[in-house]
Structure 1
């Protein structure tokens, strides 16, 4: 039976943990260090590199790197309140692994209740694939290193047998996707001010990831299913299984997202559908009919001025030319109405030949 490694982000605790790992699992080596706290872990084949800024007596500051070879992560407790083993986790919580609370991007998510009454969400990842293990570690690393009101909180993780479990705060209103597109009983009536608040919350969370945190992170999988809503309908970004560090200086993060995902998804049906919707939005914009894209469920209960601002901003953020897209801090300012949104003019020369053809055909059909 494995025990859960209780890790507070302090020098003493880290040193204790790594001494145990060195004794039980493999070798640990350390290079120079500087002031700060735990930052990042990357998985390279059979080595886990833990990139840290740990307080020490060094007069100069460089990144501290621990190399932990042939290590199998047994558990991580970021709150100090979780049960010590998977068996205890299932026994001490009302955790029903037959009822799926949320369809996560990389595994089912279940609702549980700890013995002290705290409601939790438990994500179960597949331990039979390298992808599942990689996403498990990636999620632990990314979320545990980040704290923000618009990011979902990770309480800890546990592995026992063939189980890979991530324990999160429970989000009462599930995902934005279910709120908007779920079956009738699950759909929420989101009025216009609430939708504006959700959009702003997502943008603020992404601004933190891209520009404000010590780790500049590209999420790479922002979509309605990965935006969770708490009891007050505040938006929180989740599912960091595909996230990556932005390791290139002076490189606009929105550019890198497109370059990474554009190639990966260009040939899929979903990608073609996504591009078609954008092309149609540009046609509507050209004819002054962007408001046709507003959710009909709102009827007329919304601000046309704010709706046009958000629609033009959405087109600006998906401009075929990455250099013309705004930073996320600029997006926040535009959503708040502090900065004017310049309606984007799409240069058709930046479109692919297929997109240019669809664009012309749609204009003809529109007429």
Structure 2
């Protein structure tokens, strides 16, 4: 939990506040994105939590590892900062230190021994889908996307209950940015951290946030709520203009593939007889089907037209799937991927490449309509 209670910040020499009487609560285990125009106090609000900037007035509360609510003003600033994950756009990796030493910075300050630091670092790089061999490399030997993953890993090193993220993916190219957004959302399902996430991009705010805090110039709160509710009912003209006219399209970012997919699609086994497979597809009224092995691992797909008149096993005629989609992928990214590969449907897989479902354009359309109806109902 992170709670802002009438928080104000006025910098010395300034007559107007950078953050003005700000109040909102981020529930435990959720991501709250802070978004607004330049100079609205997004980063200032973030830095008030770990007291890199001191409050002028008000209080901020966080839930610690023991599950106890703490007023940040009553905590030692050094202890506070070491207990909160902090991830920034510039990453800030130490260029003269290995990846292991970078990840182990705060654990070492807290007195962890080398073996414990190594174990935690290995666990984190694997969590980031990176080989443990990278721990002995230096930052300049990694790509921009890889360095950003290490920045996230370093912020998670001590398993903090609260994390602050200041435009963490802002410096990346669009492809890597989308990739890391999706990876982090998948990871958040496992780690369930309470996160304040600053961004200038409303699409990123909608995609990443369980809650959105929209600020105006001077740190004034214009609207706080779920992305669905903000898209359904903007509080005022400022929010309406900031969110944009394409609110219906933005709803594609609200729904994850797992919420819209067919979790029981027609599948073929690689060891299945071709004649049986053709009969199955004709019966189901489908022209193609994905093929799995006994462990439900995706092997590829086959088409009826390629199997007719053939004998043998389905696995002998499998074509590789051009793409797959993770369950945590947004419908916007899923639709984009489907258009790129020109597929009517795409297979949904988990981290082990096991088939979990199927998604097509009709399912996406129905899910967006349902999301809009739910949001309207919640507001009434």
Indicate the TM-score class for this superposition, using the shorter chain for normalisation.
Answer: under 0.3
TM-score for the superposition, normalised by structure 2? 0.27
Q: Give the structure with the higher percent strand.
A: 2
